[in-house]
């Protein structure tokens, strides 16, 4: 059967980028449908009526949303270059750390990026604590998945981009090579991997977007 795969994404979505990476790593042919989050298409609302967010993967006309769930789906349907570990305990651990990345690491780094003063200080301390846990997870490994990029590397891949943005906008290193040597090496290995590096959103456009988000956050905080 010929497979029809479409991916609804925006130019910058870090969540959609996970799906792009997985599709590329598995060599799955797909078509991109670019969405504008400020003016969502009827199709996006139809395919993801619950969250109304990208990414949405459409496989032979059937939609799947939530990036981590899409990764699992791709892994189940397309067996080549498996993303999740074969061992059930390792698989559970990969899911655990991916959830930790989304629920703990991402919000703390996000707040550290957009805030200032005391709020930024607190968020940074929290982020460093979380990053230390990821550093410990990398001990003895090149990638979180082992010798090759896997599910958890893809799930945490947003960190590469945000780390660069952070350094440029806040003028200091979030993932400091001295404090987090394994995580720093992972950031480089991951972002330099051929399939990964071909898919980064345009850097300057991304920096502008984050500067605008930072300004908006600070204006909102100062008016409340
Ligand atoms: N948990 C979701 C998060 C997806 C998400 O937040 N997508 C953003 C773009 S990066 C979005 O579509 N936002 C639209 C909105 O919040 O209305 C996932 O992993 O797919």
Give the chain's domain count: 2
Q: Which domain holds residue 73?
A: 5-77
Res 159 pLDDT > 70: yes
Res 179 pLDDT > 70: yes
pLDDT digits (tens, 9 = 90+) for 88-129: 999 999 999 999 999 999 999 999 999 999 999 999 999 999
1: confidence class by pLDDT, cuts 50, 70, 90: low
Q: Considering 77, 103, 127, which residue would you say is the last residue of a domain?
A: 77
Res 224 pLDDT > 80: no
Pocket mutation for ligand 1, best pick of 19, 45, 54 (most atoms within 8 Å of C-beta) = 54
From 185, 169, 189, 166, select the one nearest 177 (Cα to Cα): 185
Same domain for 94 and 68: no
Q: Which numbered atom of ligand 1 lies nearest the CA of 54? A: 12
Same domain for 65 and 14: yes
Same domain for 122 and 70: no
Q: Which numbered atom of ligand 1 lies nearest the CA of 65? A: 20
User: For residue 130, what pLDDT is reported?
Assistant: 98
Same domain for 126 and 62: no
User: What's 53's domain CATH number?
Assistant: 3.40.30.10
Give ∠ CA 194-81-48 in degrees, rounded to 5: 90
User: For residue 2, what pLDDT is reported?
Assistant: 72
């Amino acid at each position: 059967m010929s497979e029809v795969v479409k991916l609804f994404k925006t130019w910058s979505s870090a969540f959609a980028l996970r799906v792009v990476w997985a599709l590329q790593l598995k060599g799955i042919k797909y078509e991109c449908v670019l969405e504008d989050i400020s003016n969502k298409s009827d199709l996006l609302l139809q395919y993801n009526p619950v969250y109304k967010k990208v990414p949405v993967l459409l496989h032979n006309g059937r939609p799947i949303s939530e990036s981590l769930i899409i990764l699992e789906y791709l892994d189940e349907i397309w067996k080549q270059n498996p993303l999740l570990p074969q061992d059930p305990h390792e698989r559970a651990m990969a899911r655990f750390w991916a959830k930790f990345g989304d629920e703990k690491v991402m919000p703390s780094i996000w707040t550290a990026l957009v805030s200032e003063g005391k709020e930024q200080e607190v968020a940074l301390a929290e982020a460093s604590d979380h990053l230390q846990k990821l550093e410990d997870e990398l001990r003895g490994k090149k990638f979180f998945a082992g010798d090759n990029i896997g599910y958890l590397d893809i799930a945490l891949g947003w960190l590469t981009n945000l780390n660069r943005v952070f350094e440029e906008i806040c003028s200091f290193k979030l993932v400091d090579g001295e404090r987090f040597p394994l995580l720093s090496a992972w950031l480089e290995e991951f972002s330099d991997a051929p399939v990964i590096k071909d898919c980064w959103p345009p850097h300057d456009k991304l920096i502008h977007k984050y500067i605008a988000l930072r300004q908006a956050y600070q204006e909102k905080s100062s008016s409340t």
